[in-house]
Amino acid sequence: MFRTAILAALVCAGTSVTAQDASIEGVITEQLQAFRDRDVGTAWTFASPMIQGIFQTPENFGRMVQNGYPMVWDNSDVQFLEQQEFESRTRQEVLIKGPDGAFYILDYQMIETEAGWLINGVQVIPAPDIVS
């Protein structure tokens, strides 16, 4: 019951944010759509040079996401939450529903390049322990 209330509050918070940079949301939205479409080549284009350097190919990148981030690979019910500046990067929190039906909060680290905003990493934010 408490978990449901927290998730409902997060969803409401995500829908009330209007001052965030739409281009960041657009990049994340387009990459998530590419993963839903299984278009790893397009999803790869939204990754920063650092991420592309680590994984070397779109296929390696796609395997990593499919195996390590199933909630990104098979995502739904995406809500944008808090966005904040952190050193030279911007962090965007995203509430997302995974294939298991559970909700996850992801912390997207974004960098601005000459080509526009790119995703420089994603981290799952642990859910708080809830005692009922």
Of 22, 35, 33, 39, the C-alpha closest to 110 is 22
Percent helix, percent strand, percent coil in the chain, to nearest 5: 45, 30, 25
Q: What is the pLDDT along the chain (132 residues), one digit of tens a residue?
A: 434 334 444 444 443 333 445 599 999 999 999 999 999 999 999 999 999 999 999 999 999 999 999 999 999 999 999 999 877 779 999 999 999 999 999 999 999 999 899 999 999 997 665 555
Sheet holding 76-86, edge to edge: 76-86, 89-97, 103-113, 116-125
Tell me if the pTM is above 0.75: yes
Residue 89 CA to residue 101 CA, distance in Å, equals 31
